[in-house]
Amino acid sequence: MIKPEISPELSILINAALKADGESQISTENPPINWDSVMNLARWHQVRPLLFHYLEKNRGIAVPEKYTQSLRNYVISRTVTNMTFLSISLDLHRQLLQHKIPSFLMKGALWSWMFYEKPGSREFGDVDYYIKKTSIKDSLKVLSHNGFEPDSYRNYLFENERVAALYLKTDYQLPLEPSEENALQSLEIQWNSSYPRYCYSFSWEELTAKMMDFPLLNTSVEVPNMENQLLMMLVHHAVIEQWDKLKYVADFIRLLRNEAENLDWDYITKTAKAKGFYRLLMESLGMVTVFTGENYLKYSPVNHSAVYPDKKLLAATIAHWENERPTLKSKSWRIFIFNFKYRDDWKIKVDILLAHLSYLTQWQLIWHKFLWYNRKRS
């Protein structure tokens, strides 16, 4: 097995975020730990609650009290915030369904309760809904009534009906902001798994073919089954975010620990192959093995001779974990390069290239984007 070299500070966070209870933990005989660095990395990786719970269980690790207290205060605040966000998200979801808008709760607010033992264990900053594309306009009316509006950039694009249609055609999500004071500062609606030009598109029918009921607070919500939860997580965490934070791997590992034995791996494999990201599925499962020793590659129904994960991909991922990544206004070029490196074959890569060329022909949308950014610069 690959054993990458990592700093003691990152080792602490990997143990906290990725190791199962009872697995080997970091030795207290390691070199002195820079706790300022640990805290900064924990903030970047969004795993402060997991770090706190880990340190509570491993009292043999000497931690200055000021850091423990800081983490304790954050976890208390995070728990309250998560409960508040969940309550808001359930209320909005109920209203969407009352207006017969096909939708489901997704990502952070859902996964916090679906995969973690404690409601404050996962950090997330917004609430996400997946909306059937034909119902986007109706959903915006409901959300506007509740005080959530598109940001100024999207409002500008949506002023022109033709440009708005092109935005919905070429994009996959729409961020909304509260128009007045609200505990929830960010809400997103989504109608595709990623930008269509990266060829990960799932139809509404694909995602909702086998829905399941999941209990939340005193109610239950209907969401896609675990196989589709895994596929959507892969697209977001492995492709869009490229496993840049431990939080994303923590989600993935918990899904696998809870559900791997019961998943339909034939369906997962068939779907990943059909959409050209089977290799990324295997790379991701291989990365889990490196950091936990847990073998989920065994569930693949396909015999393969390749060794996962790719050494360069693993090294790049660890480098980002150690040093963070610069925040970009647009990740488009980064995602494009990543896809050309790690998608399955040249057929899907050519499809991505052609889709990008097709996007460049949407001159009316691009022109309005140019006008907006030019106006902002001036």
pLDDT given at position 376: 67
CA dist 29 and 32 (Å) reads 8
Is 3.30.460 the CATH number for 84-222?
A: yes
Integer CA distances (angstroms), 178 to 86, 87, 145, 159, in order: 16, 16, 11, 19
CA dist 9 and 33 (Å) reads 6
pLDDT given at position 1: 55
Domain boundaries, the chain: 84-222
- The answer to whether the peptide bond before residue 119 is cis (omega within 30 degrees of 0) is no
Residue 78, phi then psi, degrees to nearest 5: -65, -40
**E strands along 40-142, which residues?**
103-106, 127-131
pLDDT given at position 27: 47
pLDDT given at position 28: 42
pLDDT given at position 118: 86
CA dist 60 and 30 (Å) reads 13
Three-state SS at 214 = strand
Q: What pLDDT tens digit does each residue of the chain (378 aa) get?
A: 566 789 999 999 999 999 876 554 544 445 689 999 999 999 999 999 999 999 999 988 889 999 999 999 999 999 999 999 999 999 999 999 999 999 999 998 899 999 998 878 999 888 999 999 999 999 999 999 999 999 899 999 999 999 999 999 999 999 999 988 777 888 999 999 999 999 998 999 999 999 999 999 889 999 999 999 999 999 999 999 999 999 999 999 999 999 999 999 999 999 999 999 999 999 999 999 999 999 999 998 887 767 899 999 999 999 999 998 877 777 889 999 999 999 999 999 999 999 999 999 999 999 999 888 887 665
pLDDT given at position 340: 93
pLDDT given at position 30: 58
CA dist 82 and 319 (Å) reads 30
**Beta strands 148-150 and 187-190: pairing type?**
unpaired
CA dist 148 and 45 (Å) reads 28
